[in-house]
Structure 1
Amino acid sequence: MFSSNRLVLRKVSQDDVELYHSWRNDMDVMYTTNPSLDLYSLEETRSFVENILISSESSKSYIITQKENDIAIGITSLINIDYKNRNAECIIDIGEKDYWGQGYGSEALQILINYAFLELNLHRVSLRVFSFNDKAIKMYEKLGFKEEGISRESLFRNGNWEDIVHMGLLHNEYLEV
């Protein structure tokens, strides 16, 4: 369990399936993070939680809980962990819309990044963000992430082709932030 002043991150468990399912099928939540925008059955979500979020050796996933009210508000993960090359990708979703725009995403990612660099001894953490998600890009930059490249027109949203921005943070850059 990891924490900050306002948040606690705890490992995802079987008890989180229905909650995660509600976030995963909320198009407002997934619009800025999920390329496919598919709807999932409860069984598909249960299988994903069991096989990827809980059992995968190459990912570590945590439910973000707001301390004051003990309410689960989102999920964050390190995925595609490559221990040999000391790399991982991070993802985050604040699933409870009442908690958007209050700095919880940034705070949760800071906890996850601290864990990645200080506990797992990773050298690099990367992420992908949709080019139209200006708020997220600014948040990532404040955390020290730097743009590394762009996958041009690789996402189709609302009748338009959008870019996916690739960003990364190196261990030595993390120490400077």
Structure 2
Amino acid sequence: MQIAFFAEQDRLALSSWFTSQADVTQWAGPGVAWPLEESFLATLLDSASQQPARLLTFAGKQAGELAAVAQTGFDWNNHLACLCRVVVNPAMRGQNLAEHMLRQLIATAFQQEGIERIELRVYTFNQAAIRTYEKLGFVREGVQRQGVAVGEARWDCALYGMLRQEYVQPEAARRA
């Protein structure tokens, strides 16, 4: 998978992956509307200009097609990074694309001097994502019960973290 910053040409494909407000909330949180608004999509395009990095949006491509999107946020004052808004093209799910992309984003985050922790939040019903995060070495630290309202439903949200000293760099990357 080729990974680069999210670009203008990725906007239409990403927008087509969601069919409901619940889909968008699962990906982007309760503050993002469905259908995706142009003003929101524009916020995904400024990664290359951020100094220092605050919230970078990455696009993973497989055979030239948008396969996954994920963001890495940085809190430099607290020495942490946050993986967020991870989504895989619905037509490409089940191929470990999120794992591949996230391995690269985790390595990149820990290459930043001063980043001592990476964290993420995931809705507890999203078992596929949870399996991926745990496989990557994230540790479940707690659950915010009924923290998000989606229509009449309330969703629980789990917090996962990985400390620098827990990070195990893949063998291939160590040899490179």
Query: Is the TM-score greater than 0.5?
Result: yes
What residue in structure 2 maps to residue 71 of structure 1? Answer: 65
What residue in structure 1 maps to residue 87 of structure 2? Answer: 93
CA distance in 2, matches of 1:70, 1:141: 29
Amino acid at match of 1:58: R
In the alignment, structure 1 residue 30 sits paired with structure 2 residue 24: yes
Flag the 1:64–1:113 CA change in 2: closer, same or farther, 3 A.
Answer: same
What residue in structure 2 maps to residue 112 of structure 1? Answer: 105
What residue in structure 1 maps to residue 15 of structure 2? Answer: 21
Flag the 1:45–1:17 CA change in 2: closer, same or farther, 3 A.
Answer: farther
1:134, CA displacement in angstroms?
1.3
Identity %: 23
1:71, CA displacement in angstroms?
1.3
RMSD: 2.5
Q: Which stretches of structure 1, 4 residues or longer, exceed 6 Å deviation after superposition?
A: none
Q: Deviations over 1:29-70 (max 9, x none)?
A: 53632333621455324432345x55554012110111xx22
Aligned length: 165
Contact 2:24 2:34 in 1 (8 A): no
Amino acid at match of 1:18: L
In the alignment, structure 1 residue 167 sits paired with structure 2 residue 160: yes
What TM-score comes out, normalization by structure 2 length? 0.80
Amino acid at match of 1:16: D
Q: Which runs of 5+ in 2 are unaligned?
A: 171-176
Contact 1:125 1:168 in 2 (8 A): yes
Q: Which runs of 5+ in 1 are unaligned?
A: 1-6
